[in-house]
Structure 1
Amino acid sequence: MSPPLSPQIHTEYLDYVEGETVCQAYVAYAESSEARRPGILVAHAWDGQSEPIRERVEQLAGLGYVGFALDVYGKGVRGGVMEDNSHLMGPFMADRALLRRRLLAGLAAARRHERIDPDRIAAIGYCFGGLCALDLARSAAPGLRGVVSFHGLFHPPALGPQAPIQAKVLILHGWDDPMAPPADVLAVTKELTEAKADWQLHAYGHAMHAFTYPGANNPQAGIQYNAAAERRSWIAMRAFLEETLNEGA
């Protein structure tokens, strides 16, 4: 669980539009300074923007960033954390061009935010959101310096030839995750290498899918919380963001 929200952390909901779809971001930042700060996009899992994701955004604000929770599905479209949300995620997995447009709309909204430095942005994501973070890197989006995938999916979008990936990439992976078996791990590292990306992979032994979510407890399905992997992955993310967002600052 995240620490109690400091009274010095400002939070707000922000509507933005992709095509005809209204999406709603959740934004958090420390009120102690009006200077623009690096922004961290947070991409949600298959249940949509949720309370755990908003808590992560607040944690990032506590670290001095502007946290910006994306809303891939659209305003008010939410699933349940422990439910089957295939009907929500499925259309975006089937149409990765749509997913890319939705992600780029969120990034553009973040770059317009008055507290975010538009040229110092990173994205992190969990499960489906890990795939979203990787897809943002694959899109060669402006202002995006790095992405972090927590127990994410790796399948490439197949949207034509892959341009060189400029954003740095950190993959935080549970080795016993059945949704991203070793063959997929090797495939994504080959993909990133061929795209000339600066990439890292941290694999945690005996960790399954959703290892950062304390409510995950279905080891028969390969889904289980792992406190050590959660702690280690958060430390790795912090070091990565510090390096990536402060280069040239």
Structure 2
Amino acid sequence: MTVQTRTVSYQHEGTALEGFLAWDDTQTSPRPAVIVSHAWAGRDEFPCDKARALAELGYVGFALDMYGNAAVGNSAEENSRLMGPFMADRSLLLGRITAALETVRRQPEADPESIAAIGFCFGGLCVLDLARSGADLRGVVSFHGLLNPPEPAPNARIRAKVLALHGWDDPMGTPDQVLAFTRELTEAGADWQLHAYGHTVHAFTNPRANDPAFGTVYKASADRRSWAAMRDFLQEVLD
């Protein structure tokens, strides 16, 4: 197996975007694809590494670009500035991630009828909003994602299967918010799963996360367990 990669240029509402595509070049026919939606820092090496790891599993991995020109923040303040417009305008957020979905469908390596999406932190919210819109994709996986729905709620039937992987002590997604989220999914008719990891806070998949005061701490066991859960889920919805 040799994982190949390339940059994919695309646009949304006049903003130039740079996705990162990874695939196994021993596969000669189109393969199921998995979109990777980045955390608030932007499309840095973390989502690109996840795209490569997905390619090693036999999928086409696509690390999307929400901010434009693969912009990456270098501090909490910069990250917040980059993410802020999307949190303030969830229709902009949905349009931007929908553009990534449409771009993946056009890639020759990808099977346009077999696509899933995963996301981390802010990216988890992005893939959940994609599912909330009623988008036609097989499934979405949120890793320590933000859970609050857009207002007003889209009230669409959720067609994608949903897997939420969450730290029970995450200050950015409290148990009350988790329960509200599960009620939302149930009312939308979703096929959903929730895996909650005890004694675990936000950003548990990121080895660089080490800020207990902010509520972001890496946890190796939750990282390993959540990736295994994602693998099982993707095998169910894509293979």
| Matched residue SS, 2:138 | strand
Deviation at 1:141, TM superposition (A): 1.6
1:171 aligns with 2:129: no
1:215 aligns with 2:204: no
Give the counterpart letter for 1:91 in structure 2.
P
Contact 2:144–2:203 (CA under 8 A) maintained in structure 1: yes
| Matched residue SS, 1:61 | helix
| Matched residue SS, 2:142 | strand
| Matched residue SS, 2:213 | helix
- 2:12 and 2:146 map into 1 onto residues whose CA distance is 24
Match for residue 16 of structure 2?
22
Contact 2:133–2:154 (CA under 8 A) maintained in structure 1: no
Number of aligned residue pairs:
238
Match for residue 154 of structure 1?
147
Pairwise CA RMSD of aligned residues?
1.1
Alignment of 1:81-120 (within 5 A): 83-84=76-77, 85-120=79-114
- 1:129 and 1:76 map into 2 onto residues whose CA distance is 14
Contact 2:90–2:150 (CA under 8 A) maintained in structure 1: yes
- 1:161 and 1:51 map into 2 onto residues whose CA distance is 32
| Cα 1:98/1:161, change in 2 over 3 Å | closer
1:237 aligns with 2:233: no
Output the TM-score relative to the length of structure 2. Answer: 0.97
Contact 1:171–1:200 (CA under 8 A) maintained in structure 2: yes
- 2:224 and 2:97 map into 1 onto residues whose CA distance is 27
Contact 2:163–2:193 (CA under 8 A) maintained in structure 1: yes
- 1:140 and 1:112 map into 2 onto residues whose CA distance is 20
| Cα 1:160/1:173, change in 2 over 3 Å | closer
Contact 1:131–1:152 (CA under 8 A) maintained in structure 2: yes
Deviation at 1:83, TM superposition (A): 3.2
- 2:154 and 2:161 map into 1 onto residues whose CA distance is 19
1:140-193 deviation digits (Å, cap 9, x = unpaired):
223x11000000001111245411100000000001100001111011100000
Deviation at 1:220, TM superposition (A): 2.0
| Matched residue SS, 1:134 | helix
Deviation at 1:219, TM superposition (A): 1.2
1:188-216 deviation digits (Å, cap 9, x = unpaired):
10000000000000000001100000111
Q: Which runs of 5+ in 2 are unaligned?
A: none
Match for residue 66 of structure 1?
60
Contact 1:97–1:159 (CA under 8 A) maintained in structure 2: no
Deviation at 1:76, TM superposition (A): 3.7
Output the TM-score relative to the length of structure 1. Answer: 0.93
